[in-house]
């Protein structure tokens, strides 16, 4: 009996030891899994933090270098690095871009402004679009009514990692939330349209700019430039061109002054547009209107490049 009891005791002890060992093994395994999970989470968090840091620390050169080949092909005509530096655009700023269209500059600005920045798209009013005629028919105008939301959604695809804020509005409906918030209002090849029709459109646009700009904010203008000896009625914006003196006078009348000397960054002396020839902006690249591909005319026009452009920055006059 004692032998049987002893055997039973030994078996019980062995079972307990086996059970303990099994539990310890399971516990160790669970601890290892937990440690691995924690390490993976820490690694993911580190990578995410590094990614954010990389976005915040991206230079303009990095952003420009990351653009696709088709984008880079326009650098020789649009000089984005020199242009944005001249206007003082920096990461973290709030920049309002007028007539951003398919996002040529927006795709540069969003990643460059970074996580602390804000890009605001500004469109012409629906009423003004109605003055264009032709392509601006009822269907086009109806879609334009929801432009602010559709453009903002589209711009989300242009972030390239940046968490910058995105918003949009049309002239005549500037939100009060933007009052005194914008560092730079950027008009790349956009002011000539505002001058083409009723001057009320330009007046409203300038009024909105004054409202949203910070006291030390900048209005940044890049515009197709007509020679000063060309007729005023040809250089009123209808053909895409305006005289530099006209733009400066209009801004002065609206309460803005030049902030430094005009720049020749975007000058192109090869573009010698003349009213007598019926020349217009769209005869040059990238439109090449009326010049068929493969012809001598197309080659001649392509050799000119894009338009001669004025580059001007303005600030509000001190009262």
Contacts of 77 (CB under 8 A, 6+ apart): 266, 268, 285, 305, 306
Contact 315, 260 (CB under 8 A): no
Tens digits of pLDDT across the chain (319 residues): 444 444 444 444 444 444 444 545 544 554 554 455 555 555 544 444 444 444 455 999 999 999 999 999 999 999 999 999 999 999 999 999 999 999 999 999 999 999 999 999 999 999 999 999 999 999 999 999 999 999 999 999 999 999 999 999 999 999 999 999 999 999 999 999 999 998 999 999 999 999 999 999 999 999 999 999 999 999 999 999 999 999 999 999 999 999 999 999 999 999 999 999 999 999 999 999 989 999 999 999 999 999 999 999 999 998 7
| Model pTM score | 0.82
The residues pairing with 188 across neighbouring beta strands, listed in sequence order, are 222
What pLDDT, on the 0 to 100 scale, is given for residue 148? 97
What pLDDT does residue 107 have? Answer: 98
- The pLDDT of residue 29 is 55
The whole-angstrom separation of Cα 288 and Cα 282 is: 6
Question: What distance in Å separates the CA atoms of residue 204 and residue 171, rounded to the nearest whole number?
Answer: 7
Secondary structure of residue 228 in the 3-state scheme? coil
Helices (H), ranges, 87-183? 106-113, 126-129, 138-144, 147-155
**Where does the chain have alpha helices with state H?**
2-56, 60-65, 69-72, 75-78, 80-86, 106-113, 126-129, 138-144, 147-155, 191-196, 199-212, 244-253, 296-304
Can you tell me the distance from the alpha carbon of 61 to that of 175, in angstroms, rounded to the nearest whole number?
Answer: 33
The alpha carbon of 228 is separated from its chain's Cα centroid by a whole number of angstroms, namely 32
Per-residue model confidence (pLDDT) at position 319: 74
């Amino acid at each position: 009996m004692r032998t049987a009891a002893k055997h039973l005791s030994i078996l019980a002890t062995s079972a307990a030891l086996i059970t303990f060992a099994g539990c310890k093994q399971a516990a160790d395994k669970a601890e290892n899994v937990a440690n691995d999970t924690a390490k993976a989470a820490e690694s993911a968090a580190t990578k995410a933090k590094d990614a954010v840091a990389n976005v915040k620390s991206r230079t303009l050169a990095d952003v420009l270098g990351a653009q696709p080949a088709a984008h880079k092909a326009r650098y020789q005509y649009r000089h984005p690095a020199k242009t944005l530096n001249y206007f003082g655009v920096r990461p973290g700023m709030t920049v309002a871009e007028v007539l951003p269209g398919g996002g040529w500059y927006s795709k540069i600005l969003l990643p460059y402004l970074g996580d602390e920045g804000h890009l605001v798209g500004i469109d012409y009013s629906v009423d003004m679009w109605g003055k264009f005629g032709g392509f601006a028919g009822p269907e086009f105008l109806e879609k334009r009514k929801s432009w602010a939301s559709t453009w903002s959604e589209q711009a989300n695809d242009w972030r390239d990692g940046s968490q910058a804020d995105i918003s949009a509005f049309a002239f005549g409906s500037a939100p009060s939330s933007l009052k005194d918030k914008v560092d730079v209002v950027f008009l790349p090849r956009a002011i000539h349209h505002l001058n083409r029709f009723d001057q009320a459109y330009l007046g409203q646009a300038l009024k909105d700019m004054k409202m949203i700009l910070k006291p030390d904010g900048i209005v940044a203008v890049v515009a197709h430039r007509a020679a000063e000896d060309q007729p005023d009625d040809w250089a009123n914006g209808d053909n895409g061109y305006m005289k530099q003196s006209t733009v400066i006078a209009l801004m002065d009348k609206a309460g803005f002054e030049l902030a430094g000397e005009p720049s020749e960054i975007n000058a192109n002396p090869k573009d010698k547009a003349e009213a007598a020839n019926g020349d217009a902006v769209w005869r040059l690249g990238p439109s090449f209107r009326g010049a068929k591909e493969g012809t001598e005319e197309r080659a001649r026009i392509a050799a000119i490049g894009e338009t001669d452009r004025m580059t001007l920055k303005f600030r509000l006059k001190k009262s």
